[in-house]
Structure formats: structure tokens, C-alpha cells
Chains A and B, each alone.
Chain A
């Protein structure tokens, strides 16, 4: 199985900060990497697909980059609604696997 490792596991930041979350795959996955946001008590929502595609309706302050084994999710200027948990996911092969999550907290 492909292992996905996110860092950091948790992060404290303030409104207006620029934030970067990284995700590393245990083998090359091309650009078959997606990012999800999950707010407490809610289902995950797609943010970024295929490493850098911005899902419709998602604010442009979110961006993704990377390929092969190393990927990043960047929030250019944190907004209050962005404090949540973020997950990366590889869909290169089955079983589809997720990173362990990065909890973004308000400093």
C-alpha cells in the first residue's frame, strides 16, 4: 500500500498568515494527489484535485503543487473559516490511502 505522510500533524496560525502543509508519498504517484478540508462534525470536502486543480467554489487563496512523491497545500491568507483539518489522498492505485491529517488551529 502507498503510505501518505503529512507534516506537520498540527499547526497554529493566525488570520492573515500564509500556511503550507506538505504531503509525501511512499512511492511515485504522478499527480494523483487530492486535498480535502474537514470541519468538526462535518464530512470532508474536496479542495484540490490532481495536485493543483482548484475545485469549483473553493476560494483562490487555496493552491496545490507538487508531483511524484512531494506535494504541498498552501493557504495564502488564512481566514477564520479555514481553521479545520486537512487531508491528502492518493488515488494512483488501490487501496486509496489518506495522510494522517493536519489540524490547523487558531493561535
Chain B
């Protein structure tokens, strides 16, 4: 069974940092692109970062570019996202999602993890 398990969420002050992790199992992790998608309370979905299967291509939403860094360790089947200079508006549930192929585009997300809550507040 394909599973994604996020961790690392919590309460952080504005300007602070947090590192999210996603542990993958049940599939050959290195064959698939991965993404982080967030959902602010009561709001819609925003894809904030994407990484190719090899990790050599990454993409970021304008809202997080320069502050967030996505990475992966194909030897450990883990996906990470380092979040720096956090702002109130970064408060959200963060989901990791598996792409249906190794490409960053022309595919779909399935499955998604259960999500981890990040709260940015003083």
C-alpha cells in the first residue's frame, strides 16, 4: 500500500524556521516526482513546491520562492521542505503528494499524505 506520512509541523513565531518531512513507503520513491501542497484554514489548495524524481528540477509558488526549499533523499525515501522566514500567512495544513510519474507536469497527485499543521503566530 502506498503511504505518505508527514511530520514536523507545529507552532513557530513569525520570522522563524521549520522543516517538514514526508516518509514514503509502498512504491519506488525515486521513480516519482513529489509536491508539497498547503491549505490555509477554510481556504483552497495551493501547490507550493515541486521536485522531480531525481531532485534536479524544483519549482516554487511565488508566495514562498526564496524562503522555502524542497529536497528529497531517494536513498531514504523521504521528502523534505525547509521553511524559513515564516509569515502569518504561511499558517496552513501542509500535504505531501505523489505525482503519477517522474515528470513534474502532465500528471496527477495520488495519493496525498494526511497533512501536518503549521501555525505561525507570536
Contacts and interface: CB of A to CB of B under 8 A. Distances in A.
Given A94-B50, A95-B59, A46 B108 contact: yes
Contacts of A50: 108
Interface string A11-38: 0000000000000000000001010101
B82 to A, nearest CB: 19
Contacts of B44: 87, 98-101
Nearest to A49: B108
A43 B113 CA distance: 7
Interface size bracket, A side: 20 to 34
Interface in B63-122: 95, 100, 104-115
Contacts, number: 67
Given A36-B109, A87-B45, A98-B47, 14 more contacts: A1-B62, A32-B105, A34-B109, A38-B45, A44-B37, A45-B112, A89-B108, A91-B105, A92-B105, A94-B104, A95-B47, A95-B60, A98-B44, A101-B44
Interface of A: 1, 32, 34, 36, 38, 43-46, 49-50, 55, 87, 89, 91-101
Interface of B: 35, 37, 44-47, 50, 59-62, 95, 100, 104-115
